[in-house]
Structure 1
Amino acid sequence: MKRTASIALDGFGVPESLRWHDGALWFSDLAHGTVHRWSGTGKAETVIEVPGRAGGLGWLPDGRMLVVSMDGGCVYRLENDGDLVEHADLRDIAEGPVNDMLVDPAGRCYVGNFGFDYHAFNREHPNSMLYAPPGPPKAPIAVFDLEGRLLGLSEPALFPNGFLLTADGTTLVAAETLGLRITSFPIKEDGTLGSPQPWGSLVSPLLWRLVTHPGLPGRITRRISALLDHPAIAKRSSSPIAPDGLAWDCDGQSVWVANALRGECVHVARGGRVLGRVVTSQHTLSCLVAGDDGRTLFAATVPTDDPIDAAKLDGGRIEIFQL
């Protein structure tokens, strides 16, 4: 029997970056550039509109909110008086829209970016064509201190996204969305990131070799993959999984993965073994296990992640499932 999420909220462009803060659900709308707060009943409150489209969210130790400006190439800080001021600058770092962000208990923020204009590419080409050699551009994770000063950059990754912090604070776990894998980065004493280590692959090694092959096998595989990306076909497939948002499960060890290719959240053990799935109504970009009881799976879903089309459709939803 399939486990299926139910729709709690709708009418958004691209809901993303689900967070639980001060007893409420917070999220951004990447299409309309807004940040929202939902108490669990009624409609979601619009907290602020962010220049350059709101992205990743987090909070400093003193409670002030940080929010990514995707097209502005920076992180803003919401002051207590309501002013929005620039906190960290990524204009010379990001080669594409700035994306997700994690703020740790010390106030350091870890910020990813696309590495290129992903949506412009996808408007002209099937997603599978990204893997034609040399493959998608890579991008580093930028690390900033409490005051917004750059501490360093990680080794480049394939669309770093969906960050988690281990309970002991020693490791950053990241989704490499276009790498179809989850990767861990040890956190050094100064907050910068060490060499990446595999956490779990979400695609078969054979399929990865074929789709990235420079010769005829690669061209054939990429064309077949493009056909299989049709929504009517894709929703019946279970592989591969493109990890967007990540969330710790209640056990604190395994993770839930928002599958950007399909309507589902996938429960994954370290190493990449799939433990279970929860079906959503649309492609899923972010997930979170939180709520008053700590056992509610929230999912942000969209009919399309293209911000231009999504802003017209306003079909984005927040869906929930009780674990």
Structure 2
Amino acid sequence: MSELRTWVTDLGLVESPRWHDGRLYFSDWTAHEVIALGADGAHEVVARVDSLPLCSAFGPDGRLVIVDAARGLLLRLEADGSLVTHADLTGLARGWNDIVIDGRGNIYVDRVGFDMLAGEAFALGSVVHVAPDGSARQVADGIAFPNGMAVTQDNSTLIVADSYGNKLMGYDIEADGGLSNGRVWADLGDGAPDGICVDAEDAVWYADVPNRRCVRVREGGEIVQTIGLDRGAFACELGGDDRSTLFITAAEWRGMPEMVPPGTGRVLSAQVAVPGAGWP
């Protein structure tokens, strides 16, 4: 079993870990904060957005793009710490969740088709593509509960975690950023994938809240490695100098409506053999 290191404790619902320029960025959804964690363990709040969910991703230009799900906007964090509107999604739908930006600047944002916090009836979700000029369009649909997303290192495949469908979906990325050839990339059995990342062998690590674990799986569903936790794993990201550190955002999950008790959120890590690649 991989030895776990604890980096930060006493957080809320922690999500969306992203490695960039020597630091791990993640969100505390309970506090509505985006936080940067350094290799020395010091951390600071870099943005505050009153939104839940609160996910983010770095673009090829090194700027952080944040999903303001509450207002249906993509916000860009500028060098002076200000937030400006990068794209407006209000004309498309609502229920925005996770985001990934590939190496060419294509932005993908997924959305859940119903508001579970409000007790709405189940409806299928979708994925939207946002072009570098800010224009947005739906490029995939029919996903039970779209959650974490990742893009392979060659920019050819978008992988979407379907938490309710217990599977990872794969899509070919077209030249214009559109998606085609939607298929089951991996059937996960009882796995409930949340946040995901890819490695240099194009395997996927997925975080699993109800099963309290992170799992490495290959295309087709072969499970390669499992890291067990004492609380729900919400997302994971490969970072560190050699990208061989698997960072995990984890917290106790109590279900609706309490979700996560305050103070149970943590940032953990484990060393792995295969380094990260692709995006995030």
TM over 0.5: yes
Partner residue in 1 for 2:123: 137
Whole-angstrom distance in 2 between the partners of 1:242 and 1:196: 19
> Match of 1:146?
132
Q: Establish whether residue 245 from structure 1 lines up as the match of residue 212 from structure 2.
A: no
Task: Write the distance in 1 (CA, Å) between the matches of 2:56 and 2:225.
Answer: 28
How many percent identity over aligned positions?
32
Work out whether residues 46 and 81 of structure 2, in 8 Å CA contact, stay in contact via their aligned partners in 1: no
Greater helix fraction, Structure 1 or Structure 2: 1
* Greater mean alpha carbon deviation, residues 147-156 or residues 194-203: 147-156
Does the Cα contact within 8 Å between 2:92 and 2:137 map onto a contact in 1?
A: no
- Give CA deviations for 1:213-247 in whole Å, capped at 9, x if unaligned: xxxxxxxxxxxxxxxxxxxxxxxxxxx11001112
CA distance in 1, matches of 2:76, 2:236: 24
Provide the C-alpha distance between the structure 2 equivalents of 1:306 and 1:22, rounded to a whole number of angstroms.
35
Matches within 5 A, 1:1-323: 2-53=1-52, 55-96=54-95, 98-121=96-119, 136-203=122-189, 240-249=190-199, 251-304=200-253, 309=258, 313-323=262-272
| Equivalent position of 1:234 in the other structure | none
Distance 1:173 1:311 in 2: 27
Residue pair 1:95, 1:139 contacting (<8 A) in 2 also:
no
Shift of 1:266: 0.9
Contact 1:31 1:310 in 2 (8 A): no
Separation of aligned partners in 1, 2:59 and 2:7:
28
Q: How far apart are 1:17 and its partner, in Å? A: 0.7
User: Does the residue aligned with 1:147 lie in a helix, a strand or coil?
Assistant: coil
Alpha-carbon deviation of 1:108?
A: 1.9
Tell me the SS of whatever aligns to 2:143. coil
Q: Which amino acid aligns with 1:301?
A: A
Amino acid at match of 1:146: P
SS of the equivalent of 1:293 reads coil
Paired letter, 1:142: V
Structure 1 residues 46-101: Cα deviation after superposition (integer angstroms, max 9, x where no partner): 111013246221223332210011222221111233221222222233342x1110
* Contact kept? 1:9, 1:43, Cα under 8 Å: no
In the alignment, residue 171 of structure 2 is paired with which amino acid? Answer: F
Specify every segment of 5 or more residues in structure 2 that has no aligned partner in the other structure, as ranges. Answer: 273-280
Deviation at 1:307, TM superposition (A): 9.2
C-alpha displacement of 1:7: 2.0
CA distance in 1, matches of 2:102, 2:8: 28
Distance 1:257 1:32 in 2: 24
202 and 312 in structure 1: CA distance in 2 versus 1, 3 angstrom threshold: closer
For 1:273 and 1:91, locate their aligned partners in 2 and report how far apart those are by CA, in whole Å: 39
Shift of 1:5: 2.4
- Taking the aligned partners of 1:62 and 1:45, their CA distance within structure 2 comes to 22
Change in Cα spacing, 1:276 to 1:121, as seen in structure 2 (3 Å) is farther
Whichever structure has more strand as a proportion of its residues is 2
Q: How far does residue 309 in structure 1 lie from its aligned partner after superposition?
A: 3.8
Would you identify which runs of 4 or more consecutive aligned residues in structure 1 move more than 6 Å?
305-308
Choose 70-79 or 32-41, whichever is displaced more. Answer: 70-79
CA distance in 1, matches of 2:256, 2:99: 19
Distance 1:160 1:297, change over 3 A: same
* CA displacement 1:157-209 (0-9 Å, x = unmatched): 12222111112111111111111100111111111111311101011xxxxxx
Pair 299,308 (structure 1): closer, same or farther in 2 beyond 3 Å: same
Contact 2:187 2:220 in 1 (8 A): yes
Q: Secondary structure at the match of 1:86?
A: strand
Distance 1:298 1:314, change over 3 A: same
Query: AA paired with 1:99?
Result: N
**Could you say which residue in structure 1 is the equivalent of 2:275?**
none
Give me the whole-angstrom Cα distance separating, in 2, the residues matched to 1:37 and 1:172.
Answer: 26
User: Number of residues paired by the alignment?
Assistant: 272
Range moving further from structure 2, 32-41 or 48-57: 48-57
What code does the residue aligned with 2:253 have?
Answer: T
Q: Name the CA distance, whole Å, in 2 between partners of 1:147 and 1:108.
A: 10
Query: Aligned AA for 2:63?
Result: R
- Return the index of the structure with the highest Cα Rg: 1
Q: Indicate the SS of the match to 2:117.
A: helix
- TM-score where L is the length of structure 2: 0.89
Please, what TM-score do these two structures have when normalized by structure 1? 0.78
Residues 22, 39 of structure 2: 8 Å contact kept:
no
Cα deviation for residue 306 of structure 1 reads 6.4
